[in-house]
Amino acid sequence: MNLFFDHSINKNTKTVNFSFEESKHIKSFRMKSKELVTVTNGKGLEWIGELETINKNNPIANKISSKVHNDMISKIEIAIAPTKKIDRIEWFLEKSTEIGIKKIHFIQTKNSIRKKINKERLEKIIISSMKQSKQFHKPIIYDIISFNDFIILNNNTQKFIAHCQNTHKTDLAKNLINNNPCTIMIGPEGDFTRKEVDFATLNGFNPVGLGKNRLRTETAALVAIQTVHTLLTI
Amino acid sequence: MNLFFDHSINKNTKTVNFSFEESKHIKSFRMKSKELVTVTNGKGLEWIGELETINKNNPIANKISSKVHNDMISKIEIAIAPTKKIDRIEWFLEKSTEIGIKKIHFIQTKNSIRKKINKERLEKIIISSMKQSKQFHKPIIYDIISFNDFIILNNNTQKFIAHCQNTHKTDLAKNLINNNPCTIMIGPEGDFTRKEVDFATLNGFNPVGLGKNRLRTETAALVAIQTVHTLLTI
């Protein structure tokens, strides 16, 4: 089945009028009238409808059934400093959505080079990846927030800051407990500063490493996510 | 330190004449004469030399010391069907090199769309990623081989075939034993055929899954690698 997206629908919606974007996809899949179509709102909804006679510019589907799936399995939150080249963050969003992530925070750190993100564009990448990997929950992304504000506001059960400095830290894999929600902070190209690591540690973040190799920002974030997923599987 | 590459050197090499490619990097790092420079051959060598007065087009370094590092830690071999869009494989090569991989095999499967790879270009991506992540061992890539030949020729201790079909399989994470070398096969966009999975299984490959979500080819390969790394860490 091909999955479509409409943020405005709920389980009681009778008719879906596809957006311009989604209409293009219906056309490219060469879908015909009477064909079944699955639509999600990214909040767990699996809405199945039948396509009406397809008006090329405005396809419509009428409801057959709907079902709401429980909370997404992944309870991972990543706080990441946007990379200098935004395509690396875009790649990270596509991949982390496929693998499974709950929330993505962008943080402004001392060594951050990029100060802005185009949230609308990033949102589109997430929606596309969610549809491609057939998930009914869309990860949530937030606007950039300062490092200090993030530290103070995040109150997850397990909190980690991954960094490359030669101070005391242990492997992320050795620190995770069960399926508790967790937040993992990933630094910019120039890493977090010592002061930032200290401030995070003072505020309940556990300093961790992600293996022996020096990883790029977006690779580190993905490694962190898959580390959590692996530990939940075994 | 910045790491440079020269496949032709060994621990007894007295002088390194940098290639055109590496000379450009020396220039872009604005390195000066008398500066120390680290060079590897991708086979474990860490060669340290001092730059002579820099002739812009042909920098030279004279040996100070050299050391050979043991075998790379990663004993993972991935056999992957090249993706339709080659940038997805290129991305996979960059990331898997960063995280740690020993060998990459390209396989021609029933549902493969791409039949050719540009090995020289892919090799460059691997070398760049190896240098960036400061490793002294270069993953080895091989030319495309047929699915059947690969199955018959690969004699690793642990062998897995990851697929999306609804036949009996268990999670990769639940099947890995210790730090034994392992081979993991990853299918093309249209997955392996049932016949291919059966043939692999008959020949000692264990059918496995990589979690609940439908992953793209290159994502699946990366997830497999990080799953192995995580299990070796805990």
Please report the ipTM that was assigned to this predicted complex.
0.92
DSSP at A137: B
Q: Note whether A49 and A37 are within 8 A (CB).
A: yes
Q: Give the per-residue pLDDT at B216.
A: 96
Average pLDDT over residues B117-145: 96
Contact state of B98 with A222 under an 8 Å Cβ cutoff = no
DSSP secondary structure code for residue A49 in this structure: E
Shortest distance, CA B25 to any CA of chain A (angstroms): 19
Q: What is the predicted pLDDT for the residue at A55?
A: 67
- Residue A96 has which token pair? 């982390």
Spatial neighbors of B21 by CB under 8 A, at least 6 apart, are: none
pLDDT in tens, B201-215: 999 999 999 988 889
Q: How many CA atoms lie within 13 A of B181 on its CB side?
A: 11
B230/chain A closest Cα distance in angstroms: 6
Cβ contact, residue pair B133, A230, below 8 Å: no
Residues of A in contact with B135 (CB under 8 A): 213
Chain A nearest C-alpha distance from B82 (Å): 18
Task: Decide if pLDDT at B1 tops 90.
Answer: no
Mutation for A interface: B92, B212, B233, most A CBs within 10 A = B233
- C-alpha–C-alpha distance, residues A220 and A210, integer Å: 7
Question: Contacts of residue A226 in chain B, CB cutoff 8 Å?
Answer: 222-223, 226-227, 230
Q: What is the mean pLDDT of residues B64-72?
A: 89
Gyration radius of chain B over CA positions? 20
Closest B-chain CA to A100: B213
The pLDDT of residue B106 is 97
Q: Is A142 on the interface with B (CB under 8 A)?
A: no
Q: Count of CB contacts below 8 A, A vs B?
A: 90
Handedness of CA A44, A49, A51, A57 (dihedral sign): negative
Instruction: List, in order, residues 6 or more apart from B85 with CB less than 8 Å away.
Output: none
A232 at interface of B, judged by CB pairs closer than 8 A = no
E strands present in chain A: 3-5, 15-17, 36-40, 45-51, 60-68, 76-80, 103-108, 140-146, 158-162, 170-171, 182-186, 206-209
- pLDDT by residue for chain A (234 residues), tens only, comes to 789 999 999 999 999 999 988 998 888 888 888 999 999 999 999 999 999 977 667 899 999 999 999 876 788 999 999 999 999 999 999 999 999 999 999 999 999 989 899 999 999 999 999 999 999 999 999 999 999 999 999 999 899 999 999 888 999 999 988 778 999 999 999 999 999 999 999 999 999 999 888 899 999 999 999 999 999 888
Kindly state the tokens that stand for A172: 């992320």
- Please check whether residue A71 touches B, CB under 8 A: no
pLDDT in tens, B85-108: 999 999 999 999 999 999 999 999
β-sheet bridge partners, residue B185 = B79, B161
Centroid of chain to Cα B175:
22
Residue-level pLDDT at A12: 97
Q: Is A56 helix (H, G, I), strand (E, B) or coil?
A: coil
Q: Flag whether residue B83 sits within 8 Å of chain A, measured between CB atoms.
A: no
Task: Kindly report the pTM of this predicted structure.
Answer: 0.94
- Evaluate if residue B55 carries a pLDDT over 70: no
Label residue A32 left, alpha or beta by phi (over 0 means left) and psi (-120 to 50 means alpha).
beta
Q: Does B213 touch chain A (CB under 8 A)?
A: yes
Contacts of A132 (CB under 8 A, 6+ apart): A98, B214, B216
Structural domains in chain B, sorted by start = 3-68 (2.40.240.20), 76-233 (3.40.1280.10)
Secondary structure of chain B in HEC code, one letter for each residue: CCEEECCCCCCCCCEEECCHHHHHHHHHCCCCCCCEEEEECCECEEEEEEECCCCCCCCEEEEEEEEECCCCCCCEEEEECCCCCHHHHHHHHHHHHHHCCCEEEEEECCCCCCCCCCHHHHHHHHHHHHHHCCCCECCEEEEEEEHHHHHHHCCCCEEEEECCCCCCCEEHHHCCCCCCCEEEEECCCCCCCHHHHHHHHHCCCEEEECCCCCCCHHHHHHHHHHHHHHHHHC
Q: Give pLDDT, residue A203.
A: 97
Is B213 within 8 Å of A95 when comparing Cβ atoms? no
B219 → closest Cβ in A99, A211, A223 = A99
Single-letter code of the amino acid located at B27: K
Q: Which residues lie below 8 Å from residue B200, measured CB to CB, with a gap of 6+?
A: B151, B159, B161, B185, B192, B207
Q: Which pLDDT belongs to residue A58?
A: 83
Q: Does residue B216 sit at the A interface (CB-CB below 8 Å)?
A: yes
pLDDT at B72: 66
